[in-house]
């Protein structure tokens, strides 16, 4: 009799435990939802952080999938280990914001070997690499579009001769570059200046620094430029708002861009981060180009979910591919706070 009671008690405890597991959080439970691995190059990048948070919000409201996010900490070796781990977990799809674009071949090879669909985003690998695997896609912007819009905004501002600080008839600029191996950074840098020139604005590059999208590296570069050439700098062009913010911190430290029109150097960025919007509203920053974090996250979630479910990436969505037939483009918009 005592044995029967003990058995009954154990059975009850097992059932209670099972119910408790079933009522657990989405991250802990196994409810049949498809797991999608998300590799982020680094969590604290301002724009990518906005995309990540938007993805998390979409994940919370979707019981059919579970996003497993990993912070690559801007280290390709770390991200490679995370990729191996996600594949070993048996994820149904991968969303990859790669640290080093040159490592895309490795991702493709491993995803293909495991027959896992992969969507790269934000940092665009070479199309020839992507096309080696029929279950590989890219979601991102048209690289030159941000540069063109940035150039148009700058040309409009510099149509007013007062911004030519030394009156030499040309706009002397310094450039904060994201990275010479990054197609977005290369195109933004080239087309921003090219567009100004096409609009009739003569320019001269005083200096360029590879600041790797980083606020502190941009500030350090700007500190040096201001010490050497403060009176000749008419414009700061930054490939993203994080670097633009770093440049503005440097300018403010010497009393510039703080409300005195005689001490103002226009700074332009890309992303329209919340910080940049505040800087624009207070008059410290001239403008930025809006990269839609919410739109990026929505596209990633829809393509990733379709892939995880064994469907075509864009089936039942409002998205279409560009001429490459493998890339979905998210449009940019100018932002000047007006």
**3-state SS of 258-285?**
CCCCCCCCCEECCECCHHHHHHHHCCCC
Say what the alpha-carbon torsion angle 43, 46, 51, 56 is, to the nearest 10 degrees: 50
DSSP state of 271: B
Query: How many other C-beta atoms are found inside a 10 Å radius of the C-beta of residue 205?
Result: 12
Tens-place pLDDT, residues 189-231: 999 999 999 999 999 999 999 999 999 999 999 999 999 999 9
d(Cα 212, Cα 217) in Å, to the nearest integer? 8
Which of helix, strand or coil describes residue 133? coil
pLDDT tens per residue across span 67-120:
999 999 999 999 999 999 999 999 999 999 999 999 999 999 999 999 999 999
The correct CATH number of 144-291 out of 3.40.640.10, 3.90.1280.10, 3.40.50.2300, 3.30.450.70 is 3.40.50.2300
pLDDT confidence band for 312 (50 / 70 / 90): very high
Domain boundaries, the chain: 33-140+293-331, 144-291
| CATH of the domain spanning 33-140+293-331, picked from 1.10.30.50, 3.20.20.140, 3.40.50.2300, 3.20.10.10 | 3.40.50.2300
The span from the CA of 67 to the CA of 116, in Å, is 15
Of 307, 310, 309, 114, residue with least CA distance to 328? 307
- Kindly report the pTM of this predicted structure: 0.76
Phi, psi at residue 122, to the nearest 5°?
70, -50
What's the average model confidence in pLDDT over 169-176? Answer: 98
What is the reported pLDDT for 32?
Answer: 52
- Does residue 130 surpass a pLDDT of 80? yes
Per CATH, 33-140+293-331 and 144-291 having the same topology is answered yes
User: Which bin fits 139, alpha (ψ -120 to 50), beta or left (φ > 0)?
Assistant: beta
Using 50, 70 and 90 to split pLDDT, how confident is the model at 27? Answer: very low
């Amino acid at each position: 009799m005592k044995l029967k009671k003990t058995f009954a008690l154990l059975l009850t405890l097992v059932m209670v435990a099972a119910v408790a597991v079933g009522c657990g959080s989405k991250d802990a439970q196994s409810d049949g939802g498809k797991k999608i691995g998300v590799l982020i190059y680094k969590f604290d990048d301002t724009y990518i952080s906005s995309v990540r948070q938007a993805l998390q919000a979409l994940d919370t409201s979707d019981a059919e999938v579970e996003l497993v996010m990993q912070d690559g900490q801007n280290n390709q070796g770390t991200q490679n280990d995370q990729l191996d781990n996600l594949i070993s977990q048996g994820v149904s799809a991968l969303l990859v914001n790669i640290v080093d674009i040159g490592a895309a071949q490795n991702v493709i090879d491993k995803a293909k070997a495991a027959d896992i669909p992969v969507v790269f985003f934000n940092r665009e690998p070479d199309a020839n690499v992507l096309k080696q695997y029929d279950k590989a896609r890219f979601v991102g912007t048209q690289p030159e579009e941000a540069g063109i819009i940035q150039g148009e905004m700058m040309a409009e501002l510099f149509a007013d001769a007062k911004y030519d600080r030394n009156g030499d008839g040309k706009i002397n600029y310094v450039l904060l570059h994201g990275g010479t191996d990054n197609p977005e950074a290369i195109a933004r840098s080239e087309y921003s200046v090219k567009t100004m020139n096409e609009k009739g604005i003569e320019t001269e590059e005083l200096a360029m620094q590879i600041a790797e999208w980083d606020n502190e590296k941009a500030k350090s570069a700007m500190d040096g430029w201001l010490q050497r050439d403060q009176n000749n700098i008419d414009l700061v062009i930054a490939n993203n708002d994080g670097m633009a913010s770093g440049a503005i911190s440097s300018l403010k430290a010497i009393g510039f861009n703080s409300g005195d029109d005689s001490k103002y150097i226009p700074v332009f960025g890309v992303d329209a981060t919340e910080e940049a919007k505040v800087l624009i509203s207070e008059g410290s920053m001239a403008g930025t180009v809006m990269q839609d974090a919410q739109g990026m996250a929505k596209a990633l979630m829809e393509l990733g979910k379709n892939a995880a479910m064994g469907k075509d990436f864009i089936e039942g969505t409002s998205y279409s591919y560009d001429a490459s037939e493998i890339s979905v483009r998210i449009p940019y918009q100018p932002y000047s706070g007006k």
